[in-house]
């Protein structure tokens, strides 16, 4: 089946994403985020996210269809995120997708959110997509995963992931320690620009020789967060001013360093000269800078899709559905459910 018209639905976290693609071409990508509602709680509240998806679903769907200039009846298939993510949030997307599939009598494809992030690269307007295999580093408020992608629709291997907090979550928690508003990633990034990244050396999680045997591709950020909290507390207890910019810069450096070091180690170990970045943390200036610098040194081609395709969105889910169809995969039967811990 060539160039199928696919509608994608993404509701794994706080973004209600509806995207429409034709083959490998992006037609529309509507995103409604409930982040504002979560801000006062200092984190995404699952119940609030689920309710927001329910409210945003139909308006987002209408907008995506209008922007794509199609009629809903024209679509060839529906793709929907079944996991991983927040259970209640996922259920809203799965329910909507099934309802559409039944009402329109169209096939439905249940897809994995993380693999969807990799599929986003195909829609990157800046050039031809990556060849496979590629290493993919996906970093957001919900996940920190390192994948070896030999084939997008049939061979994706999880090399490692965070054993505690996601990288974005660490940014959010450290921002709170420093008295910066939520979501903290962009705030830390901004404040860190004026700081000295080498003034304070914070620990790189799971990077000691012993850790590297068992957790070579895994990440840990909760020790780093605790180290920052303790450092700040000691200053405060001593009645000293906290050098917020230096703390932010030192913390940001530690996260960027460990992310890029492990991703490039995966490239070297597997003889893969390509690295794809995805997820909201890719917005981080130091992560981008360090990735560019070190990838070039290592002879690794670096690919970073535009931010609207890096953060959670429906277009990447639609594209993964289109790729499944073009590779001849059969649709899902309607008995699938949301799976908050769905493996890749």
Q: In the β-sheet with 15-22, what is the strand arrangement from edge to edge?
A: 25-33, 15-22, 5-10, 77-83, 108-112
> Rounded to the nearest whole angstrom, what is the least distance from the CB of residue 145 to ligand KG4 in the complex?
12
Q: Which of residues 127-156 bind ligand KG4 (CB under 6 A)?
A: 140-142
Within 8 A by CB and 6+ apart from 184, the residues are: 171, 172, 173, 174, 175, 176
Q: Which does 246 bind (CB under 5 to 8 A by kind): Zn ion, ligand KG4, none?
A: none
Q: Which of 83, 184, 195, 250 binds ligand KG4 (CB under 6 A)?
A: 184
Q: Which of 19, 83, 183, 205 binds ligand KG4 (CB under 6 A)?
A: 183
Stretch of 76-84, 86-94, 122-130, 182-190 contacting ligand KG4, by CB under 6 A: 182-190
- The 135-154 site mask, x for binding Zn ion (CB under 5 A), equals -----x--------------
Q: Which of residues 282-341 bind Zn ion (CB under 5 A)?
A: 312
> Rounded to the nearest whole angstrom, what is the least distance from the CB of residue 279 to ligand KG4 in the complex?
5
171 counts as binding ligand KG4 under rule CB under 6 A: yes
| C-beta atoms surrounding 79 within 10 Å | 33
How many residues are listed for the chain in this entry? 344
Nearer to ligand KG4, 144 or 323 (CB): 144
305 Ramachandran zone, left/alpha/beta (phi>0; psi -120 to 50): beta
Stretch of 120-128, 210-218, 241-249, 280-288 contacting ligand KG4, by CB under 6 A: 280-288
CB 168 within 8 A of CB 38: no
SS3 state of residue 75:
coil
SS3 state of residue 45:
coil
Using CA atoms, how far apart are residues 90 and 10, in angstroms rounded to an integer? 8
| C-beta atoms surrounding 244 within 10 Å | 18
Using CA atoms, how far apart are residues 190 and 48, in angstroms rounded to an integer? 28
205 counts as binding ligand KG4 under rule CB under 6 A: no
93 counts as binding ligand KG4 under rule CB under 6 A: no
Q: Which residue has the tokens 């997008």?
A: 152
Using CA atoms, how far apart are residues 149 and 132, in angstroms rounded to an integer? 7
Q: Which of residues 18-77 bind ligand KG4 (CB under 6 A)?
A: none
> Rounded to the nearest whole angstrom, what is the least distance from the CB of residue 200 to Zn ion in the complex?
30
The tally of CA atoms less than 13 A away on the side-chain side of residue 12 is 30
Q: Which does 189 bind (CB under 5 to 8 A by kind): ligand KG4, Zn ion, none?
A: ligand KG4
- Residue ranges in contact with ligand KG4 by CB under 6 A: 13, 140-142, 168-169, 171-172, 183-186, 189, 279-281, 283-284, 311-312
Binding site for Zn ion (CB under 5 A): 140, 312
């Amino acid at each position: 089946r060539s160039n199928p018209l696919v509608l994608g639905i993404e509701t794994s976290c706080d973004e209600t994403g509806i995207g429409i693609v034709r083959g490998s071409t992006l037609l529309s990508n509507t995103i409604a985020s409930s982040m504002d509602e979560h801000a006062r709680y200092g984190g995404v509240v699952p119940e609030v996210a689920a309710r927001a998806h329910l409210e945003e679903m139909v308006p987002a769907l209408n907008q995506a269809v209008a922007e794509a200039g199609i009629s809903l009846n024209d679509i060839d298939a529906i793709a929907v995120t079944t996991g991983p993510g927040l259970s209640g949030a996922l259920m809203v997307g799965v329910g909507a997708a099934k309802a559409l599939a039944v009402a329109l009598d169209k096939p439905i494809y249940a897809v994995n959110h993380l693999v969807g992030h990799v599929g986003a690269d195909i829609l990157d307007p800046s050039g031809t997509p990556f060849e496979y295999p590629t290493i993919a580093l996906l970093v957001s408020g919900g996940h920190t995963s390192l994948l070896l992608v030999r084939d997008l629709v049939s061979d994706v291997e999880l090399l490692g992931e965070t054993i505690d907090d996601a990288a974005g979550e660490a940014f959010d928690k450290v921002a709170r320690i420093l008295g910066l508003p939520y979501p903290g990633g962009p705030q830390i990034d901004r404040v860190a620009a004026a700081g000295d990244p080498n003034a304070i050396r914070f620990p790189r999680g799971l990077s000691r020789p012993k850790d590297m045997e068992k957790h070579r591709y895994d990440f840990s950020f909760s020790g780093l967060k605790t180290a920052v909290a303790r450092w700040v507390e000691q200053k405060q207890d001593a009645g000293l001013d906290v050098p917020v910019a230096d703390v932010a810069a030192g913390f940001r450096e530690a996260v960027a360093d460990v992310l890029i070091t492990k991703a490039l180690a995966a490239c070297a170990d597997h003889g893969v000269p390509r690295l794809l970045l995805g997820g909201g943390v890719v917005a981080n200036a130091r992560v981008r800078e360090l990735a560019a610098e070190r990838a070039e040194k290592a002879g690794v081609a670096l690919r970073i899709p535009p931010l609207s395709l890096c953060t959670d969105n429906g277009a990447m889910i639609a594209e993964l559905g289109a790729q499944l169809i073009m590779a001849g995969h059969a649709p899902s039967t309607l008995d699938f459910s949301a799976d908050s811990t769905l493996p890749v």
